[in-house]
Structure 1
Amino acid sequence: MNQRIEKDRLVEYLPHKGKMFLLSRVTQHDVEKLSITVETDISEDFIFYEKELDGIPNWCTFEIMAQAISALTGIHDNFYGIEPKAGCILSVIGFESNIEVFKAGTTIKAAAVEEYRDDESHIYRYKCAAYVSPEATETAVEATITVMQTEDIETILNR
């Protein structure tokens, strides 16, 4: 399963809406290998755009990578007929970047692959990377993101 998913259909798989919906498209996904590659087009309208930088700071890529994970989860759950759950980031570790700013006009490619799964606690860990362009092979940002799914996000937020 490797079909491209454009933004107008991709919004069905993520809880993010409006300006917080950061992904432009999915270019690759595999629900069996639990991997995904997405693209995000950076413009002056992008929620994290900073005029003085004419782009977005590198730290913003962790949210793009997290939304890639959310997209993969939504696609996976839809494919297997699983009721969607809310999720949240538990940690971002090993964040390394060799670029400070992704300039306006750039298309960031981000990839995520599941490394760890605990279905009992609903905690999952992904190795993630971001690239300066869809054609780039040199990693611009790397991080490991741990997420948790829950049926009741309110319970977690009120603890």
Structure 2
Amino acid sequence: MLYCQSGAPQLHPEELTLYRPKIPSEWPGVFHRACEYSDDGHLVKFIRAIATAAEDIKSFPQDSRLAIRSARELLTIAHMVIDSSEEFNRNTADHEAEMICAKYEYPRLMSHEIQRVTARWPRHVGFEQSWFHIPARKPRPLAQL
């Protein structure tokens, strides 16, 4: 229900196979980066949930009903999450928080850190208007084989 209420965002499975992490590592490296990341705890809980799914998916090898079929794919998703979160903090966090405050009144009543959380974790992401403050995605260079 929540997925549908959020506008059922379009998925891009090809990005999962093409993605190259900014700092390639196994799970311990992702966990370390998530623990070092400064936020209200959303990121580390999200990474933990992805890691739990990576363990659980081993019980369903090659189940064709699953869109994501391997622990390796889930590790890639964890890298996507941590990479984009770190990029947000480095480059756009304050600007995006300002945009949220300019468009909506309720964030102006909150602390600056909560404004950043609101910008960092958009709601209802299947609807185009939820992305107004997010910079356009740049194509990433593909790894050479």
TM-score category by the smaller chain?
A: 0.3 to 0.5
Give the TM-score of the pair, scaled to structure 1: 0.30
Based on CA coordinates, which of the two structures has the bigger radius of gyration? 2
Could you say which structure has the higher strand fraction? 1
Give the TM-score of the pair, scaled to structure 2: 0.32
Could you say which structure has the higher helix fraction? 2
